[in-house]
Each structure stands twice: as structure tokens, then as C-alpha cells.
Amino acid sequence: MAWRSVGASNEDLIRQLKEYGVIASDAVAKAMIDTDRKHYSPRNPYMDAPQPIGGGVTISAPHMHAFALEYLRDHLKPGAHVLDVGSGSGYLTACFYRYIKSMGESADTCIVGIEHQSALVQMSKTNLNADDRSMLDSETLKIVQGDGRKGYPENAPYNAIHVGAAAPDTPTELLNQLANGGRLIVPVGPEGGSQYMQQYDKDKNGKVEMKRLMGVMYVPLTDLRS
């Protein structure tokens, strides 16, 4: 199974995920190959399992990042606004940046990672700069501190929203910030209980349809005081 794989290098890990069928598209594979996990995961960067990054937080397993990119890729286009809630290490935020950039340049592209722990905000910026300083320097990508449960209205509406921690129920405020034609993927369910990765699609008229994708296990989506 994919989540038992260990790569000798970042490229080897991504090759295995592609062989297992977790990664279906060459563009997702390239974004993940170009974003070396060694910059974002201090422990076991090429093991397909969650790893601690500090502050009681983990970086998700590579196969979950691959799933996120695959489920959102049709919405990751030049000019898109993307919100990564609970951006943690900054890894997936960087993948979103690279995926969209590979599709073309647009001054309207905006990728926002939001994280409530100030230490993680600073750490993710350090990680991104160690990877490629031009990502933050471009101002196309930014990391902000805040309560991700409330989204980030400043750059809404978003064509794609990813949430990296479990919401107890449907995250209404994030749906409010989802653009017509946009997609939100978020783990939903109680801590320690049954959780599912759910996909919310908003059509051109603003009607929302939910699809349950898979069972998952995530830490809860909280603020700094919870």
C-alpha cells in the first residue's frame, strides 16, 4: 500500500506514489518532485507517514498531500485564489504555488497559507525560503497568522480551499468564501471519532454539493487558545 512506502529520495518517493496510483497526473508529480520535503519535514521526509514538526503539529503523509493536489488540480489555474488552512510547514502551499506556476503566469494568482501558531508561521516562512526564496518574494504566495476556521476574507473568494485539520462539522464560513465554481476539501468529524475527507463543490449559481471521499484521521481544527 502507498502509505507503507519509503523513498530513498524525494523523487523516489513521488515515483512510488505514482506507481501506486495515488498520483494520477504528471503535473501533480512534477509539483511534488520540485518541492523537496527535506525543507519541510525535519524527520523522515521521504517516509509516507505523518511526521512531527513542532507545536504539537504534524506534516501530513505525502499520499494525503498527493490526494489534495489531485482533487483540487482542476481548480488550480493561473489567476486562481487558493487558501490553505492550517498550512503548518508550508509544504502543500508551496506545491500549490508550483503547480499553478507550471500552468502559466498571472498577476492575479494568489496563494494564501493561514496558520494560527506564530512559531509555525515563522517556521514555514523559513522552510519556504530554504526551498526557494522567490516564492515569498513574488508576493504571489503568502503565509499569514490567523484563525483558519474563519478563512481569510482579504483575498476571498477562493477557487480552491484545502483544510489540513478536522472541522467538527461543515465549515460554513469557508463555504461562504468559496467562489462560484470552486472546490473545498476538508476533513470533517470529531476528534478521536469517525472523520471523512469531504469535497464541497459550489456551482456557478452558488449551490453547494457535498461528496464524501474517504475515511481519514486528523487533529482538530482549533485556534491558539483551544
pLDDT digits (tens, 9 = 90+) for 186-203: 988 887 778 889 999 999
The CATH number of the structural domain formed by 64-216 is: 3.40.50.150
CB of 24 closer than 8 Å to CB of 73: no
DSSP 205: T
Residue 196, strand partner residues? 188, 215
Which range is least confidently modeled, 31-40, 41-50, 57-66, 211-220? 211-220
Which pLDDT band holds residue 220 (cuts at 50, 70, 90)?
low
d(CA 114, CA 122): 12
d(CA 60, CA 53): 10
Residue 111, strand partner residues? 82, 141
Catalytically annotated residues: 60
pLDDT digits (tens, 9 = 90+) for 41-51: 999 999 999 99
Domain-wise residue ranges, the chain: 64-216
Q: Is the pLDDT of residue 217 over 80?
A: no
d(CA 195, CA 9): 31
CB of 95 closer than 8 Å to CB of 101: no
